[in-house]
């Protein structure tokens, strides 16, 4: 087990790429679910998506600024990813109610 995560690039290990990718994927999935599954009207969705883009951009921008170490903690990355996913599920739940 000593060679665990040695082949993975450092940028993927500390989350500098993973957290912004997760935020981007969550934003795209949010738009797809709201439009295709929950059938949110286009006028409402387009005005609300501006707010969601700003929120997800905050995740994309603030994680690399907060992570100064080159070997970041995997728990910190998982916390940011989990927060992003929970936020997406929360937004979907608000529309589903």
| Residue ranges per structural domain of the chain | 17-96
Residue 61's pLDDT is what? 82
Residue 14's pLDDT is what? 64
Residue 2's pLDDT is what? 56
Residue 40's pLDDT is what? 93
Residue 13's pLDDT is what? 63
Residue 70's pLDDT is what? 55
CA dihedral for 41, 46, 52, 56, sign (positive or negative):
positive
Residue 91's pLDDT is what? 94
Residues of the chain scoring pLDDT < 70: 1-14, 64-73
């Amino acid at each position: 087990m000593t060679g665990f995560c040695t082949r993975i690039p450092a940028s993927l290990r500390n989350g500098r790429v993973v957290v912004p990718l997760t935020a981007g994927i969550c934003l795209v999935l949010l738009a797809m679910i709201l439009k295709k599954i929950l059938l949110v009207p286009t006028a409402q969705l387009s005005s609300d998506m501006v707010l969601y883009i700003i929120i997800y951009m905050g995740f994309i921008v603030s994680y690399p600024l907060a992570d100064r170490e080159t070997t970041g903690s995997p728990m910190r990355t998982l916390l940011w990813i989990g927060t992003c996913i929970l936020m997406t599920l929360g937004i979907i739940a608000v529309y589903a109610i």
